[in-house]
Amino acid sequence: MNPDKNSNNLRQLAERLVQYGKKQGADEIEVTLYDGLEFNVDVRLGKIENLVEAGSKFFAIRVFKDKRAASASSSDLSISTLQLLIRNAIKRALLTHSDEYAGLPVPALFKVDEASLKLYDPAVSRMKPQEKIKLALTTEKISLQDKRINNSFGASFISHELRTVLSNSNGFTGEYLQTYCSLHLGLQAGQDDNLVEDYWFSSKRYLKDLAPPEEVARKAVERTVRQLNPRKIKTQNVPVIFEPTMTSWLLTFLFSCVSGMAVYQKTTFLADRLGEKIGNDLISVINDGLLPAKPGSRPFDSEGVPSQRTVVIEKGVLKNYLCNTYAARKLNLVSTGNGDGNAVIPNNFYLEAGTATPEEIIKSTRKGLLLTRTIGHGLNPVTGDISRGAFGLWIEDGEIAYPVCEITIAGNLGEILKKVEMVGNDLEFESSICGPTIKVAEMTVAGI
Amino acid sequence: MEEKTRMVLPYEDHFHLKTLDLKKVLTLALSRGGDFADIFLEYRISRSILMEEDIIKETEESITLGLGVRVIKKDRTGYAYTNDLSEEKIRIAALTAAAIASLPGASPQQIHLKQIKPGKEIAVVRSLATTSPLQKKIDLVQKAYHSALNFNQTIKKVQVAYGESTQYVWIVNSQGLSIKDTRPMVKLVAQAIAEKNGRRESGFYGGGGRVGLEFFFRKLTAEEIGREAAKEASLLLEAAEPPAGEYPVILAPGHSGVLVHEAVGHLLEADFIRKKTSIFWNKLGKKIGSEQITIYDDPTIPGFRGSYRVDDEGTQPTRTLLIEKGRVKGFLQDRLSARLMKKSLNGHGRRQDFTNWPVPRMSNTYIDRGEYSPEEIIRSVSQGFYVSRLSGGQVEDSGKFTFSVTLGFMIEDGQLTRPVKQATLIGTNLDILQKVEMLGSDLEFGLQTGTCSKEGQDVPVSDGCPTMKISRMTIGGLR
Split at pLDDT 50, 70, 90, the class of B8 is very low
Choose among B365, B335, B338, B339: nearest CA to B350: B335
Q: Nearest residue of B to residue A190 by CA position?
A: B398
Kindly give the pairing relationship between strand B177-196 and strand B155-173. Answer: antiparallel
Residues in chain A closer than 8 A to B395 (CB atoms): 375
Q: DSSP for A322-379?
A: B--HHHHHHHT----S-EETTEE--SEEEEPP-SB-HHHHHHT-SEEEEEEEEES--E
CA distance B371 to chain A (A): 31
Query: Taking all residues of chain A, what is their mean pLDDT, rounded to a whole number?
Result: 94
pLDDT of residue A354: 97
Radius of gyration of chain B (CA): 24
CA distance A140 to chain B (A): 15
Choose among A426, A355, B301: nearest CA to B309: B301
CA distance B286 to chain A (A): 14
Is residue B7's pLDDT more than 50? no
Chain B residues 69-98 with CB within 8 Å of chain A:
75-84, 92-93, 96
Q: Nearest residue of A to residue B425 by CA position?
A: A389
Split at pLDDT 50, 70, 90, the class of A89 is very high
**Is residue B206 a contact partner of residue B182, using CB atoms and an 8 Å limit?**
no
- CA angle B422–B425–B426, rounded 5-degree value: 145
Is residue B103's pLDDT more than 70? no
pLDDT of residue B9: 42
Phi, psi dihedrals of residue A270, rounded to the nearest 5° = -95, 10
Answer yes or no: do B400 and A389 touch at CB < 8 A.
Answer: yes
Residues 6 or more apart from B335 whose CB is under 8 A from it?
Answer: B36, B72, B313, B315, B345, B349, B358
Domains of chain B from N-terminus onward: 2-236 (3.30.2290.10), 245-476 (no CATH)
pLDDT of residue A194: 80
Which residues pair with residue B61 across a beta bridge? A72, B47
If one counts every other C-beta atom within 10 angstroms of the C-beta of residue B328, the result is 23
CA distance A47 to chain B (A): 8
The percent of residues in chain A predicted with pLDDT above 70, rounded, is 98
**Is residue B136 a contact partner of residue B68, using CB atoms and an 8 Å limit?**
no
pLDDT of residue B393: 78
The DSSP element (H or E) to which B443 belongs, if any, is: none
pLDDT of residue A180: 96
Give residue-wise pLDDT tens across range A60-80.
Answer: 999 999 999 999 999 999 999
* Partner A contacted by B455 (CB < 8 A): no
List Cα–Cα distances, B50 to A87, A96, A338, B53, B158, in angstroms: 20, 10, 21, 10, 11
- CA angle A260–A261–A265, rounded 5-degree value: 110
Q: Nearest residue of A to residue B64 by CA position?
A: A75
SS3 content of chain B, % helix, strand, coil (to 5): 25, 40, 35
Is residue B468's pLDDT more than 80? yes
Residues 6 or more apart from A426 whose CB is under 8 A from it?
Answer: A244, A353, A357, A358, A436, A437
CA distance B142 to chain A (A): 11
pLDDT of residue A6: 56
Average pLDDT over residues B204-232: 97
Is residue B19's pLDDT more than 70? no
Residues in chain B closer than 8 A to A47 (CB atoms): 75-76
CA distance B302 to chain A (A): 30
Q: B interface mutation test: which of A38, A45, A76 has the most B CBs within 10 A?
A: A76
CA distance B1 to chain A (A): 9
CA distance A353 to chain B (A): 29
Spatial distance between the Cα atoms of B212 and A163, rounded to a whole number of angstroms: 39
Split at pLDDT 50, 70, 90, the class of B479 is very low
Spatial distance between the Cα atoms of A126 and B119, rounded to a whole number of angstroms: 48
Amino acid making up residue A296: G
Chain B residues 146-185 with CB within 8 Å of chain A:
156-157, 159
Answer yes or no: do A266 and B134 touch at CB < 8 A.
Answer: no
Lowest-confidence segment of A272-281, A398-407, B105-114 by average pLDDT = B105-114
Average pLDDT over residues A95-124: 93
Split at pLDDT 50, 70, 90, the class of B3 is very low
Residues in chain A closer than 8 A to B199 (CB atoms): 383
Nearest CB partner across the interface for A96, out of B56, B202, B398: B56
Residues 6 or more apart from A419 whose CB is under 8 A from it?
Answer: A280, A440, A441, A442, A443
Average pLDDT over residues A404-410: 86
pLDDT of residue B391: 78
Supply the ipTM of this predicted assembly: 0.90
Is residue A2's pLDDT more than 50? no
Residue B10 Ramachandran class (φ > 0 left, ψ -120 to 50 alpha, else beta): beta
Kindly give the pairing relationship between strand A438-446 and strand A420-423. Answer: antiparallel
Lowest-confidence segment of A139-153, A191-205, B38-52 by average pLDDT = A191-205
Give residue-wise pLDDT tens across range B192-211.
Answer: 999 998 888 889 999 999 99
Is residue B21's pLDDT more than 90? no
DSSP state of B124: B
Residue A424 in 3-state DSSP?
Answer: strand
Residues 6 or more apart from B5 whose CB is under 8 A from it?
Answer: none
Q: DSSP for A60-123?
A: EEEEEETTEEEEEEES---HHHHHHHHHHHHHHHTTS---TT-SPPPPPS----HHHH----HH
Average pLDDT over residues A119-129: 95
Residues in chain B closer than 8 A to A151 (CB atoms): 275-277
Phi, psi dihedrals of residue A111, rounded to the nearest 5° = -135, 140
Query: Taking all residues of chain B, what is their mean pLDDT, rounded to a whole number?
Result: 91
pLDDT of residue A380: 84
Q: Nearest residue of A to residue B79 by CA position?
A: A52
The residue length of chain B stands at 479
CB pairs under 8 A between A and B: 239
The DSSP element (H or E) to which B6 belongs, if any, is: helix B2-8
Spatial distance between the Cα atoms of B402 and A374, rounded to a whole number of angstroms: 9
Average pLDDT over residues B430-452: 94
Residue B117 in 3-state DSSP?
Answer: coil
Spatial distance between the Cα atoms of A55 and A159, rounded to a whole number of angstroms: 12
Nearest CB partner across the interface for B100, out of A51, A56, A70: A51
Q: A interface mutation test: which of B61, B236, B475 has the most A CBs within 10 A?
A: B61
Q: Nearest residue of B to residue A152 by CA position?
A: B277
Choose among A3, A398, A372, A351: nearest CA to A179: A3
Lowest-confidence segment of A282-296, B11-25, B70-84, B389-403 by average pLDDT = B11-25
**Is residue A154 a contact partner of residue A189, using CB atoms and an 8 Å limit?**
no
Q: DSSP for A204-262?
A: ESSGGGSPPHHHHHHHHHHHHHTTSS-B----EEEEEEEPHHHHHHHHHHHHHHHBHHH
Split at pLDDT 50, 70, 90, the class of A399 is very high
**Is residue B189 a contact partner of residue B160, using CB atoms and an 8 Å limit?**
yes
Q: A interface mutation test: which of B79, B155, B276, B422 has the most A CBs within 10 A?
A: B422
Q: How much is the pTM? A: 0.91
Domains of chain A from N-terminus onward: 8-225 (3.30.2290.10), 236-249+353-446 (no CATH), 252-349 (no CATH)
Distance of CA B113 to the CA centre of its chain: 31
pLDDT of residue B10: 47
Residue A378 Ramachandran class (φ > 0 left, ψ -120 to 50 alpha, else beta): left
Choose among B401, B167, B172, B462: nearest CA to B278: B401
Q: Return the exposure string of B29-49: e unless at least 16 CB atoms fall within 10 Å of the residue's CB, then b.
A: bbbbbbebbbbbbbbbbbbbb
Q: Which is more confident, B329 or A391?
A: B329
Q: B interface mutation test: which of A235, A237, A257 has the most B CBs within 10 A?
A: A235
Residues 6 or more apart from B103 whose CB is under 8 A from it?
Answer: B32, B33
pLDDT of residue A179: 97
Radius of gyration of chain A (CA): 24
pLDDT of residue B471: 94
Split at pLDDT 50, 70, 90, the class of B423 is confident
Spatial distance between the Cα atoms of A292 and B53, rounded to a whole number of angstroms: 39
CA distance B425 to chain A (A): 8
- CA angle B222–B225–B230, rounded 5-degree value: 130
The percent of residues in chain B predicted with pLDDT above 70, rounded, is 95
Residues in chain A closer than 8 A to B84 (CB atoms): 56-57, 77
- CA angle B154–B157–B158, rounded 5-degree value: 115
Chain B residues 282-341 with CB within 8 Å of chain A:
none
Residue B231 in 3-state DSSP?
Answer: helix
pLDDT of residue B18: 67
Answer yes or no: do B92 and A1 touch at CB < 8 A.
Answer: yes
Give residue-wise pLDDT tens across range B169-192.
Answer: 999 999 999 999 999 999 999 999
**Is residue A388 a contact partner of residue A249, using CB atoms and an 8 Å limit?**
no
Spatial distance between the Cα atoms of A150 and A287, rounded to a whole number of angstroms: 41
pLDDT of residue B108: 63
Split at pLDDT 50, 70, 90, the class of A254 is very high
Q: Which is more confident, B61 or A388?
A: B61
Residues in chain A closer than 8 A to B394 (CB atoms): 375-377, 389
pLDDT of residue B199: 84
Residues in chain A closer than 8 A to B202 (CB atoms): 267, 380, 382
Split at pLDDT 50, 70, 90, the class of A405 is confident
pLDDT of residue B4: 37
The DSSP element (H or E) to which A383 belongs, if any, is: none
Spatial distance between the Cα atoms of B252 and B443, rounded to a whole number of angstroms: 10
Choose among A202, A95, A224, A99: nearest CA to A157: A202
**Is residue A336 a contact partner of residue A308, using CB atoms and an 8 Å limit?**
yes
Answer yes or no: do B63 and A342 touch at CB < 8 A.
Answer: no
SS (H, E, C) B240-276: ECCCCEEEEEEECCECCHHHHHHHHHHHHEHHHHHCC
Q: Return the exposure string of B419-446: e unless at least 16 CB atoms fall within 10 Å of the residue's CB, then b.
A: bbbbbbbbbbbbbbbbbbbbbbebbbbb
Q: Nearest residue of A to residue B356 by CA position?
A: A52
Answer yes or no: do A56 and B66 touch at CB < 8 A.
Answer: yes
Split at pLDDT 50, 70, 90, the class of B398 is confident
Split at pLDDT 50, 70, 90, the class of B11 is low
CA end-to-end span of chain B? 58
* Dihedral sign computed on CA atoms, order A389, A394, A400, A402: negative
